[in-house]
Amino acid sequence: MPKTNNKIFLNKKIYVEELKKIVKKENILSHEDELKPYETDGLSAYKEIPMAVVLPENTDEVSKVLRYCNEKNIKVVPRGAGTGLSGGALPLKDSILLGLGKFNKILDIDYGNRCVVVQPGVTNLSITKAVENKGFYYAPDPSSQIACSIGGNVAENSGGVHSLKYGTTTNNILGLEVVFMDGSISRIGGKTFDTDGYDLLGLITGSEGLLCVITEVTVKILNKSQSAKAALVGFSSIEDAGNCVSQIIASGIIPAGMEMMDQLLIKATDDFVKAGYPREAEAMLIIELDGTELEVKELMNRVVEIAKKNKSLNIKISKDDNERIKFWAGRKAAFPACGAMSPDYYCMDGTIPRGKLAEVLTEIKRLSKKYNLKVANAFHAGDGNLHPLIMYDANDIESLNKTEKFGAEILKYCVKVGGILTGEHGVGVEKRELMCEMFNNNDIQQQIKIKKSLDKNSLLNPGKVYPILRKCAEEGRVHVHGGKTKFPDIPRF
Ligand SMILES: Cc1cc2nc3c(=O)[nH]c(=O)nc-3n(C[C@H](O)[C@H](O)[C@H](O)COP(=O)(O)OP(=O)(O)OC[C@H]3O[C@@H](n4cnc5c(N)ncnc54)[C@H](O)[C@@H]3O)c2cc1C
> 469 falls in which pLDDT band (50, 70, 90)?
low
Neighbours of 137 (CB within 10 A): 20
259 and 269 Cβ atoms separated by less than 8 Å: no
Residue with CA nearest ligand 1 atom 18: 84
Residue 476 confidence (pLDDT): 52
Residue 474 confidence (pLDDT): 54
Evaluate whether residue 243 is within a structural domain: yes
> 470 falls in which pLDDT band (50, 70, 90)?
low
Residue 115 confidence (pLDDT): 98
More confident position, 481 or 184? 184
Q: Is the CB of 48 under 6 A from ligand 1?
A: no
Q: Strand 95-99 vs strand 52-54: parallel, antiparallel, or unpaired?
A: parallel
The CA 234 to ligand 1 mean position distance, Å, reads: 31
Task: List C-alpha distances in Å: 196 to 212, 217, 337.
Answer: 20, 18, 46
Of the residues 43, 85, 259, which should be mutated to test ligand 1's pocket, given the most ligand atoms within 8 Å of the CB? 85
Evaluate whether residue 73 is within a structural domain: yes
Q: Is the CB of 149 under 6 A from ligand 1?
A: yes
173 and 70 in a common domain: no
CA angle 482, 483, 489 (to 5 degrees): 120
Evaluate whether residue 492 is within a structural domain: no
Question: What's 120's domain CATH number?
Answer: 3.30.465.10
Percent of the chain with pLDDT over 70: 95
219 and 110 in a common domain: yes
Q: Is the CB of 92 under 6 A from ligand 1?
A: no
111 and 63 in a common domain: no
127 and 72 in a common domain: no
Lowest-pLDDT range of 3-7, 242-246, 335-339: 3-7
Q: What is the pLDDT of residues 84-101, one digit of tens each?
A: 999 999 999 999 999 999
> 132 falls in which pLDDT band (50, 70, 90)?
very high
Domain boundary among the residues 311, 334, 357 is at 334
Instruction: Provide the domain limits for residue 357.
Output: 342-416
Say if residue 268's pLDDT is above 50: yes
247 and 218 in a common domain: no
Question: What's 399's domain CATH number?
Answer: 3.30.70.2740
121-126: average pLDDT: 98
404 and 302 in a common domain: no
Residue with CA nearest ligand 1 atom 28: 82
Evaluate whether residue 491 is within a structural domain: no
User: In total, how many domains does the chain have?
Assistant: 5
157 and 129 in a common domain: yes
From the alpha carbon of 461, which atom of ligand 1 is closest? 47
The CA 314 to ligand 1 mean position distance, Å, reads: 36
The CA 408 to ligand 1 mean position distance, Å, reads: 21
Name every residue whose Cβ is closer than 8 Å to that of residue 257 and which is 6 or more positions away in sequence. Answer: 161, 162, 164, 165, 230, 286, 287, 288, 328, 382
Of the residues 59, 148, 154, 213, which should be mutated to test ligand 1's pocket, given the most ligand atoms within 8 Å of the CB? 148
By CB neighbour count within 10 A (0-12 exposed, 13-18 middle, 19+ buried), where does 331 fall?
Answer: buried
> 487 falls in which pLDDT band (50, 70, 90)?
very low
Domain boundary among the residues 282, 302, 334 is at 334
Q: Is the CB of 41 under 6 A from ligand 1?
A: yes
Q: Is the CB of 84 under 6 A from ligand 1?
A: yes
Full-model pTM? 0.92
Residue with CA nearest ligand 1 atom 36: 152
Element (H, E) at 32: helix 32-35
The CA 153 to ligand 1 mean position distance, Å, reads: 5
Residue 489 confidence (pLDDT): 44
> 25 falls in which pLDDT band (50, 70, 90)?
very high
Q: What is the pLDDT of residues 209-260, one digit of tens each?
A: 999 999 999 999 999 999 999 999 999 998 899 899 999 999 999 999 999 9
Lowest-pLDDT range of 30-44, 196-210, 411-425, 479-493: 479-493
196 and 127 in a common domain: yes
Neighbours of 102 (CB within 10 A): 16
> 296 falls in which pLDDT band (50, 70, 90)?
very high
The CA 484 to ligand 1 mean position distance, Å, reads: 35
Q: What is the pLDDT of residues 188-201, one digit of tens each?
A: 999 988 778 899 99
Q: Is the CB of 209 under 6 A from ligand 1?
A: yes
Name every residue whose Cβ is closer than 8 Å to that of residue 406 and which is 6 or more positions away in sequence. Answer: 367, 368, 370, 371, 373, 390
26-52: average pLDDT: 92
Residue 471 confidence (pLDDT): 54
Evaluate whether residue 423 is within a structural domain: no
331 and 325 Cβ atoms separated by less than 8 Å: no
Residue 475 confidence (pLDDT): 54
Say if residue 46's pLDDT is above 70: yes
According to DSSP, the residues that pair with 84 across neighbouring strands are none
444-452: average pLDDT: 93
81 and 152 in a common domain: no
256 and 206 in a common domain: no
More confident position, 99 or 4? 99
Evaluate whether residue 57 is within a structural domain: yes
Of the residues 46, 95, 144, which should be mutated to test ligand 1's pocket, given the most ligand atoms within 8 Å of the CB? 144
Evaluate whether residue 236 is within a structural domain: yes
Distance CA(404)–CA(410), nearest Å, equals: 10
349 and 329 in a common domain: no
Residue with CA nearest ligand 1 atom 8: 142
Q: Is the CB of 123 under 6 A from ligand 1?
A: no
From the alpha carbon of 208, which atom of ligand 1 is closest? 49
Residue with CA nearest ligand 1 atom 7: 142
Domain boundary among the residues 199, 223, 247 is at 223
Lowest-pLDDT range of 47-51, 246-250, 339-343, 448-452: 339-343
The CA 81 to ligand 1 mean position distance, Å, reads: 7
175 and 115 in a common domain: yes
Q: Is the CB of 141 under 6 A from ligand 1?
A: no
Evaluate whether residue 422 is within a structural domain: no
> 357 falls in which pLDDT band (50, 70, 90)?
confident
The CA 83 to ligand 1 mean position distance, Å, reads: 5
Q: What is the pLDDT of residues 174-187, one digit of tens each?
A: 999 999 999 999 99
The mean of the pLDDT values for the chain is: 91
Residue closest to 52 by CA, chosen among 25, 86, 82 = 25
> 272 falls in which pLDDT band (50, 70, 90)?
confident
